[in-house]
Amino acid sequence: VEKTLEKKQVINGKYEVQFFLDETDVYQKYRVKGNDNKTYLLKLYNSSKLSRYSFTNEGLLETEILRQIDHINIISLVESGEVVKNSQKYHFLIFDFISGETLHEKLKREGVFSPYSAVPMTLNILDAVAELHNHPRTVIHNNINMNNISLDYSKNSEKPILTGFNFARYIDSKSNSVDIEQLSPFSIAPELYNGVFTPQSDVFSIGALLYQMIFGIPPWYLELPEYQYSDDKFKTLLFDKRNEDLSFIMPDFEELDDEHLKETIVKALSIDVENRFKNIKEFNEALRRQVILEGGSTKKTKQVSTKAEVKQGDGFSALAGMEELKTLLYNDVIKALNEKELYARYGITIPNGILLYGPPGCGKTFFS
């Protein structure tokens, strides 16, 4: 790999290059250290290779969009600018560094996700994308896939972070302004092949993400070399493949036995936009089982009452620290008591008790 930046090179007078991370056809990523001694991610674009649709009057469209977005599950832009190197112009973006790995890397390392872990992670991504869709001009991400979801492990938990905004567009941006040849063909909605992108396009991509987490491969996967993805023959094969019913056979050769989850995935991945979830809110409600999909993905949904007695008290917010213990009790006890049917469906039983141990004064009695 021919690296544009050298180690120890300083960008914008603030960020010292530590080492090269990754590259695509149009950008390179570096780990850098700021004057504040914090670690950041630098994304360096070769400006001459970018589409004209990647720019606004003020600079990169990606920069403009991210400056307006603030969400816990969306990558944080710190600053941006331009730099000239070897008579070439480059645009750079500085992000908060994510200490972890991508969903794709975790899938390769550990294998498929259980529905119990995949669904909550998908709900976090849905919340992040809802923030984009609720923007006054409605932002469509267009490139949601396993490589653009990073897992932040910095706080002893897996927090999914949505990244990869270089193909994000406003809904009123020009059609055909997204180069689909640069996208993952198994993750993008069929209407994108016609240059059309809407909130339902992101719904499809998140449905494909959920499917791949649980089954290990993208929906309607074709085993062909990546260099053939741009061929018309491949697109014809993919379109034909998508006319087939989805397979719900798990890697252990057992079929997924959660009918509601299957119906939810089918509806999210509907080729016909009329049968797909109309928005993120509908998808979110289905995954949370606030609606029940009856007799197939094209049927109407029936509202399920989710009212519960509201108990007074500050709960865990009254306790400082002990985040690992709070998370353990919430997932293994509190959530299990509140969602008994969900836990029973995956064979997870509620513990008979929990033993708190430690030296005097560590908070055992206060916590309990």
14/48 same-domain check: yes
Q: Tell me, yes or no, whether 310 lies in a domain.
A: no
Mind listing the pLDDT tens digit of every residue in the chain (368 residues)?
689 999 999 999 999 999 999 999 899 999 999 999 999 999 999 999 999 999 999 899 999 999 999 999 999 999 999 999 989 999 999 999 999 999 999 999 999 999 999 999 999 999 999 999 999 999 999 999 999 999 999 988 899 999 999 999 999 999 999 999 899 999 999 999 999 999 999 999 999 999 999 999 999 999 888 777 778 889 999 999 999 999 999 988 899 999 999 999 999 999 999 999 999 999 999 999 999 886 554 344 343 444 444 455 566 666 666 777 777 777 777 777 777 666 666 666 666 677 777 776 677 776 66
236/220 same-domain check: yes
Q: How far is CA 12 from the centre of its chain?
A: 30
Q: CATH no. for residue 290?
A: 1.10.510.10
Q: Tell me, yes or no, whether 308 lies in a domain.
A: no
Predicted pLDDT of residue 310? 46
166/251 same-domain check: yes
Q: Tell me, yes or no, whether 86 lies in a domain.
A: yes
299/361 same-domain check: no
Structure token pair of residue 128: 């992040």
Residue 301 has phi, psi (to 5 degrees) of: -100, 155
Number of domains in the chain: 3
Nearest to 89 by CA among 51, 45, 57, 130: 45
Structural contact between residues 367 and 323, judged by C-beta atoms closer than 8 angstroms: no
Structural contact between residues 94 and 40, judged by C-beta atoms closer than 8 angstroms: yes
Q: CATH no. for residue 74?
A: 3.30.200.20
Percent above pLDDT 90 for the chain: 72
Predicted pLDDT of residue 173? 96
Q: Tell me, yes or no, whether 5 lies in a domain.
A: no
Range of the domain at 349: 315-367
298/168 same-domain check: yes
Q: Tell me, yes or no, whether 4 lies in a domain.
A: no
Q: What is the pLDDT of residues 291-300, one digit of tens each?
A: 988 655 434 4
